[in-house]
Structure 1
Amino acid sequence: MDIYTSTLSPALDIFTGCYLLVIAVLSIVGNLLVLIMAVKRSSRMKPPELLSVNLAVTDLGAAVTMYPMAVASAWNHHWIGGDASCLYYGLAGFFFGIASIMNLTIMAIVRFIVSLNLQSPNEKIGWRKVKMLCIWIWLYALIWALFPIMGWGRYGPEPFGLSCSLAWGQMKHDGFTFVISLFSFNLVLPSVVIICCYFGIAIKLFFTYKKSSHNSNRVPNIVKLHRRLLVIAVLISFGFIVCWTPYSIVCLWSILGDSSSIPPEVSLLPCMFAKSSTLYNPIIYYVFSQSFKREVKKLGWLCFGSKTGHDANNITDNSMYMVNTDIKSQVEVQTTVQQIEE
């Protein structure tokens, strides 16, 4: 049988195509909304928030460049384009996947640095540093994506024939060092860094709240804001890790065990679950960020020609992503009030 012919039933192929189409549409719309909101508030955006914009770009890039081809292949019951398109699809998936996990890792580190002194009006992370970090993320992902083309690792079709990725089953021997390095530097180490950073932030917030709650009513509000932003960041990071963990386990089994023992239907499920990772971030922003929800509704009202009832601007939640854009002003106001009282 042709390696690019689906090994699934025709009905399952059609269902897979419909599922990917829904994921693609929701991912494109959701991440476009994130980027539109970022452009609208670009003058008020803080440097660390650029990392969240960068993350939306990676999710949008994956949805636009990969999912339409996967949908067409599923409905065709055969991979479209042969070896050339398979190489392109595998490289794109690997490239955007590495970019996403490294972006999340850098976000956790930056978020931890920002939280070291919640009441400081000074910028710890400037625009130049954040832009350099974004460039590093893309270059790092590109280098890893090019390794299989240069001979370290390889790309190939998935066992079910409707998608392409790293050819895990073919790397038992000559590509084993690539697999170990890949999982060590792009899954295990980033996951450990993310967990440690957010655990450290949680401890910092706890002691800050405990220390300051009996002195002022303003500082705990800042802590509560950071706690909300921490929840958003944790959900985004662990959502990505949870989505990709089942697929990673199946891939490791293909390397360490007998890949032929995994039915195509079983290998399909983790792959489809991993592809849904591009969908969750806008949903998390919408549920947990009042400002993002308000701006999306406002945009919807404008699109349908309705008038917004009001243009609220809640100073305690005008940040969509990582840091509150008005923490500096809040601290300055608090300092002024304390000086007047003294």
Structure 2
Amino acid sequence: MDDRYMSKLSPTIDFWAGLYLVIIAVLSVFGNMAVLISAARRISLLKAPELLTVNLAITDIGMALSMYPLSIASAFNHAWVGGDISCLYYGLMGMIFSITSIMTLAVMGLVRYLVTGSPPKTGIKFHRRTVSIVISGIWLYAGLWALFPLLGWGSYGPEPFGLACSVDWTGYGKSLNHSTFIMTLSILCTFLPCLVIVFTYFGIAWKLHRAYQSIHSNDFQYGNIEKKITLMAVSISIGFLIAWIPYVVVSFWSMFHSEDQGLMNPFITLLPCLFAKSSTVYNPFIYLIFRRSSWHELLRLQRLVFCCSHHGSMPAEEAKVEGEMVKASDCTIFGDGIDTTCEGSIGAPGGQRGAATMTVG
């Protein structure tokens, strides 16, 4: 096996890193699923800016499902699994989801800045069609940057510790091709979005400060809602920046000190990478804090998984008896033995399947 794909860490560190990623993956999937289920339950009531939060949940769960299993397998294997092909795949997915996340947060900041402080009837309004087009543009933008290394501009490569792949930061300075790609990528996909996030939320804070000084008594409710939504967006953005800044710092150190890679302990390069992956957990739980209905959805999802797996393995007659005993529970089994909270999990007579009847707590 290529030495670049061999872990530079001890088997013990690899094991704990893999266990950490398992926990992060599970929390990310369940947390973001709760956000998506909550959004799906009230799809007709979603405001246009809320689609950005939904998009953020999609990117987080996409990263958890498409990337973390490969990282976990590599950590427990004490070497990267799959060689060059899986490394390209991992780098591609990482580029798409990370750029989509930061661009979504930047657009979210702009939207909140334009909306904050404006009266609900006369202020700036964003239609769902407009936001949907912007979200599509974000995905195309991220996909384009992810394809550049495959087309010859820049490249993907293994991380210094050997258990992950990303942009080959060490290629900076070795050729004009790598230097121009990394510098352009850093400016357009890191620095500018971060500046937009920082300055828009400073602007929001100033607008709220001025608005609350002159707010009328009949606008208190609107002001509280505005403050709550803005705090949620600020918290999500700050969490993302805090999670990714250490990784960016180490990556830029690698850019300008490619000859000194051996001087940095591989464990030091591993920590920022693991910390950055935790960003997929922050977003849904911040959202859950500000939207209690989503928290109930998360608990209901947990009960649903247990309940469906339990009743799915029971004979129809036993399920019928069980249903009479748990009529008040979240997983109701009706007289014909069909679990209507588990869509398609238990076949109904005649080949039909039960319909989902989840409700927000």
TM range (shorter): 0.7 to 0.9
Q: Could you tell me which residue of structure 2 aligns to residue 20 of structure 1?
A: 21
Q: Once the 2 structures are TM-superposed, how far is the Cα of residue 123 of structure 1 from its aligned partner?
A: 6.3
Does structure 1 residue 10 correspond to structure 2 residue 8? no
Question: Does the CA contact (< 8 Å) of 1:154 and 1:171 recur in 2?
Answer: no
The residue type paired with residue 199 of structure 1 is: F
Q: Could you tell me which residue of structure 2 aligns to residue 237 of structure 1?
A: 237
- Structure 1 Cα separation of the partners of residues 24 and 152 of structure 2: 33
Q: Once the 2 structures are TM-superposed, how far is the Cα of residue 121 of structure 1 from its aligned partner?
A: 5.8
- SS, match of residue 150 in structure 2: coil
Q: Classify 1:119/1:247 alpha carbon distance in 2 versus 1 (closer, same or farther; 3 Å).
A: same
Higher-RCO chain (CA-CA 8 Å, sequence separation at least 6) = 1
Q: Could you tell me which residue of structure 2 aligns to residue 90 of structure 1?
A: 91
- SS, match of residue 172 in structure 1: coil
Q: Could you tell me which residue of structure 2 aligns to residue 287 of structure 1?
A: 289
Task: Please list the CA deviations of residues 211-249 of structure 1 after superposition, one character each: whole Å capped at 9, or x if unmatched.
Answer: 12xx42x31221122112111101101111111111111
Q: Once the 2 structures are TM-superposed, how far is the Cα of residue 84 of structure 1 from its aligned partner?
A: 0.3
Q: Once the 2 structures are TM-superposed, how far is the Cα of residue 193 of structure 1 from its aligned partner?
A: 0.8
Does structure 1 residue 187 correspond to structure 2 residue 190? yes
Does structure 1 residue 173 correspond to structure 2 residue 174? yes
Q: Classify 1:197/1:61 alpha carbon distance in 2 versus 1 (closer, same or farther; 3 Å).
A: same
Question: Does the CA contact (< 8 Å) of 2:63 and 2:93 recur in 1?
Answer: yes
Question: Does the CA contact (< 8 Å) of 2:34 and 2:297 recur in 1?
Answer: no
Question: Does the CA contact (< 8 Å) of 2:34 and 2:295 recur in 1?
Answer: no
Alignment of 1:80-119 (within 5 A): 80-119=81-120
- Structure 2 Cα separation of the partners of residues 39 and 17 of structure 1: 32
Task: Please list the CA deviations of residues 95-124 of structure 1 after superposition, one character each: whole Å capped at 9, or x if unmatched.
Answer: 110010001011111111222513326661
Task: Please list the CA deviations of residues 275-301 of structure 1 after superposition, one character each: whole Å capped at 9, or x if unmatched.
Answer: 111111111112233333344456566
Q: Once the 2 structures are TM-superposed, how far is the Cα of residue 68 of structure 1 from its aligned partner?
A: 0.4
Q: Could you tell me which residue of structure 2 aligns to residue 273 of structure 1?
A: 275
Between 161-170 and 57-66, the greater mean CA deviation after superposition: 161-170
Task: Please list the CA deviations of residues 40-95 of structure 1 after superposition, one character each: whole Å capped at 9, or x if unmatched.
Answer: 01011111111111111000110000000110111111111110001000111111
- Structure 1 Cα separation of the partners of residues 99 and 179 of structure 2: 19
- Structure 2 Cα separation of the partners of residues 260 and 95 of structure 1: 29
- Structure 2 Cα separation of the partners of residues 223 and 199 of structure 1: 18
Q: Could you tell me which residue of structure 2 aligns to residue 160 of structure 1?
A: 161
- Structure 2 Cα separation of the partners of residues 11 and 297 of structure 1: 34
- Structure 1 Cα separation of the partners of residues 156 and 301 of structure 2: 42
Q: Once the 2 structures are TM-superposed, how far is the Cα of residue 195 of structure 1 from its aligned partner?
A: 1.4
Q: Once the 2 structures are TM-superposed, how far is the Cα of residue 20 of structure 1 from its aligned partner?
A: 0.6
- SS, match of residue 241 in structure 1: helix
Question: Does the CA contact (< 8 Å) of 2:55 and 2:104 recur in 1?
Answer: yes
The residue type paired with residue 158 of structure 2 is: P
- Structure 2 Cα separation of the partners of residues 271 and 160 of structure 1: 10
Q: Classify 1:123/1:192 alpha carbon distance in 2 versus 1 (closer, same or farther; 3 Å).
A: closer
Question: Does the CA contact (< 8 Å) of 1:90 and 1:155 recur in 2?
Answer: yes
Question: Does the CA contact (< 8 Å) of 1:253 and 1:259 recur in 2?
Answer: no
Unaligned runs of 5+ in 2: 308-325, 331-361
- Structure 1 Cα separation of the partners of residues 15 and 132 of structure 2: 42
Q: Could you tell me which residue of structure 2 aligns to residue 130 of structure 1?
A: 131
Alignment of 1:246-261 (within 5 A): 246-257=246-257, 258-261=260-263
Question: Does the CA contact (< 8 Å) of 1:153 and 1:178 recur in 2?
Answer: yes
Unaligned runs of 5+ in 1: 309-342
- Structure 2 Cα separation of the partners of residues 275 and 297 of structure 1: 24
Task: Please list the CA deviations of residues 235-269 of structure 1 after superposition, one character each: whole Å capped at 9, or x if unmatched.
Answer: 10111111111111111111112222211111000
Task: Please list the CA deviations of residues 106-160 of structure 1 after superposition, one character each: whole Å capped at 9, or x if unmatched.
Answer: 1111111222513326661112211110100000000111111112211011111
Question: Does the CA contact (< 8 Å) of 2:34 and 2:301 recur in 1?
Answer: no
Q: Pick the aligned partner of 1:199 from 190, 198, 202.
A: 202
Alignment of 1:3-82 (within 5 A): 3-82=4-83
TM-score, normalised to structure 1, is 0.84
Question: Does the CA contact (< 8 Å) of 1:27 and 1:63 recur in 2?
Answer: yes
TM-score, normalised to structure 2, is 0.80
RMSD over aligned Cα atoms: 1.9
Q: Which has the larger radius of gyration?
A: 2
